[in-house]
Amino acid sequence: MDIRRIPWQSSLALRRQVLWPEASLEAMKLDDDEAGLHFGAHVDGALVSVASVFIDGDEARLRKFATAAAYQRRGIGSAVLRHLLDQLREAGCRSLWCDARESALAFYRRFGLHEEGPRFHKEGLPYFRMRISLCGAGAPHAPG
């Protein structure tokens, strides 16, 4: 597996396939995609996982994290998230947050993210805001 930066346009098809299959490809574009850092995990040359990060000062936001169904539960998403956390720490970010689907809470908790605030809904799906501190003695290390 190879995890590397990718152009934002390369993430659109996998975002749609995994997150919003009924939506158009154009609907997968975020207004600030051009300003984000986009990462992709490749297996045998195929893009199988994508994640986009947007940095604002010393805080980062994870958006549109998606792993192809055939590659889920193989450690690929975990490797991508570990990679992102390392990259953000090196860049001096102090925290990372995301809006996580309720179905993904256990995954994010394994990396030390915790819920902030009540459940909310997007397009009928339940979400929670989650956050992790990336600095200091109390910052958890991602499972390996």
pLDDT digits (tens, 9 = 90+) for 4-57: 999 999 999 999 999 999 999 999 999 999 999 999 999 999 999 999 999 999
* Overall number of domains in the chain: 1
Indicate whether 143 pLDDT > 60: no
| Residue 129 in domain | yes
Q: Is residue 60 part of a domain?
A: yes
- Assess if residue 139 is contained within a domain: no
41 neighbors 66 (Cβ within 8 angstroms): no
pLDDT at 135: 84
Beta strands in 12-84 (DSSP E): 37-43, 46-56, 59-67
On whether the pTM is more than 0.85, the answer is yes
Res 136: pLDDT: 56
Instruction: State residue 113's pLDDT score.
Output: 96
- pLDDT at residue 144 above 60? no
pLDDT digits (tens, 9 = 90+) for 92-110: 999 999 999 999 999 999 9
Q: What is the pLDDT of residue 139?
A: 44
Is residue 51 a part of any domain in this protein? yes
In a domain, 116, yes or no: yes
Q: Would 86 be classed as within a structural domain?
A: yes
CB 43: neighbour CB atoms within 10 A? Answer: 15
Residue 144 belongs to a domain: no
Q: Which domain holds residue 63?
A: 2-133
Position 123 confidence tier, pLDDT thresholds 50, 70, 90: confident
The answer to the question of residue 29 being in a domain is yes
Query: Which residue pairs, CB below 8 angstroms and at least 24 apart, start in 18-24?
Result: 18/66, 18/67, 18/68, 18/69, 19/64, 19/66, 20/123
Residue 129 has pLDDT above 50, yes or no: yes
Q: What is the CATH number of the domain that holds 38?
A: 3.40.630.30
